[in-house]
Structure 1
Amino acid sequence: MPLSILQAKHLGQLLCHVTTDVLWQPARGRIRQRHPGSKLACRVGSGQATYHRFHPQGRQHNITYGARMIVAKHRPDTAAGWLSSREIQRRRYFDGELSTANLLAHTCCHEFAHLLQHVAGKRHRGSVHNRHFYEILDELHVSGAAIAVRERLLADAADQGIELPDSAFEITSPREMLSTWQVGDTVMFGSGKRQTEGVIRRINRKTCTVDGTGRWQGLRYRVPPQLLRRLPQTLVE
């Protein structure tokens, strides 16, 4: 059964607590030596957006974990499009093994690395995922902090009766995903009020070009293949 948004939000609250307890608390003293009065607030958003922001007026760092991001990282096909999946595989974090637990633990480390990057003055417009960022992220994994985050997430989820899959899964490559689609296929993507329907007009190197149908007619989208779902012919206007 797919993870519901409500379940994802409960799991997101665990990500918030673990980020604060395992990553922020040990580093807080060092951070405040450089930026006195710095604070951290974590929250769960309803969409996919997952990010770190700093508000200088209150000297507050904010980390948001998107509920739909959490849902996406429970399935191999939707996890494939996330940078965290590529980082785990390419940089051999968690021995390169992809699982929901590994992906979510790494997401905590990824966003906290942005916080540390900002504190170090190494985050600049147009240069976010730069060498300095990956030096920080590598250190979080080498030091054992990432493992500590993962183990705490698993323990807290078990204590609260929240399912957090730990089994490894394989992700289909983007090229293999694209090969399952053809020009003329009717598709849908998005969910709820944001669900969109259309027809594939072109297969690109990494995406499909989709022309909207029905109330989306006249609009054109470039959609990663992992976000597409087949639309029954009877639903096409």
Structure 2
Amino acid sequence: MNSSAETAAALGRLMCRVTEEILWNPAADWIGKRTPGSALHCRVGSGQATYHRYDLRRKQHQITYGVRMIEAKHQADSAEGWLSAREIRQRGYFDTELSTLNLLAHTCCHEFAHLLQHSAGKRFHGSVHNRHFYEILDQIHTSGGAVAVREALQIRARQNDVELPEERFEPVHLQQLAADWQVGDPVLFGGARRTHSGKIVRVNRKTCTVDGTGASRGLRYRVPVSLLSKP
């Protein structure tokens, strides 16, 4: 590969294949019974946005894996800000170990859980990452589906000569992260679907106090430093 972007795009295409083969194919009959004619289209996006979307008219599920998201999950400091990293650690997925391989495999599971959540009628406006979603995501992991995804992604990367780091990330020291921010710095934080913008008004030991800007103007947040990123 000639660049990190090309490598990320290649990994994104492999994630699409693995999602379709390991996750979609076994579930297609169940999904089809709930919504006859349903299909899945996986794609690689040019930005960081990573999401599941359903086109009611075409009865098509779409999962997008953003290239910038894949790039971000190659480094411990940038990976820390993603929900997938918090889920792996807090819910014990993959023995709580963060690595590029584990993060990308879990991302496939996370987005497919949204697909199953939608098919089950358990995705509601303002309640996306609800208990129904995590029941589904937990089941993907406890059933062995997540391990199968990780193994398939690992094998396909090797077969296609695509670099996919498997080494465990060393924990990022939060005080070191806090030292990277100063009062007045513009920041982004939140999930891929609900990103907030703001300006730092205070740097604490493990968090930053942020005044919202743009659509978040008038709100104040206390955000863990590991979840902040530059615009």
Pick the TM interval, shorter chain.
0.7 to 0.9
The normalised TM-score by structure 2 is 0.81
- 2:153 is the counterpart of 1:153: yes
Shift of 1:206: 3.9
- 2:61 is the counterpart of 1:32: no
Q: Which structure 2 segments of 5+ residues have no match?
A: 189-198, 214-220
Task: Summarize deviations over 1:113-164 as a string: whole Å, max 9, x none.
Answer: 0000000000000000000000000000000000000000000000010010
Number of matched residues? Answer: 208
Distance change >3 Å, CA 24–CA 206, structure 1 → 2: farther
Shift of 1:181: 3.2
1:69-148 to 2 correspondences below 5 Å: 69-148=69-148
- Counterparts of 1:39 and 1:188 in 2: how far apart (Å)? 38
Which residue number in structure 2 is paired with residue 227 of structure 1? 229
**Contact 1:15 1:108 (8 Å CA) reproduced:** yes
**Contact 2:200 2:209 (8 Å CA) reproduced:** no
Which residue number in structure 1 is paired with residue 63 of structure 2? 63
Task: Summarize deviations over 1:183-223 as a string: whole Å, max 9, x none.
Answer: 478x999xxxxxxxxx9664363466799xxxxxxxxxx99
- Counterparts of 2:154 and 2:210 in 1: how far apart (Å)? 37
- 2:10 is the counterpart of 1:13: no
The normalised TM-score by structure 1 is 0.79
**Contact 1:88 1:96 (8 Å CA) reproduced:** yes
Which secondary structure does the structure 2 equivalent of 1:227 belong to? coil
Q: Which structure 1 segments of 5+ residues have no match?
A: 190-198, 212-221, 230-237
Task: Summarize deviations over 1:87-121 as a string: whole Å, max 9, x none.
Answer: 00000000111100000000000000000000000
Distance change >3 Å, CA 39–CA 136, structure 1 → 2: same
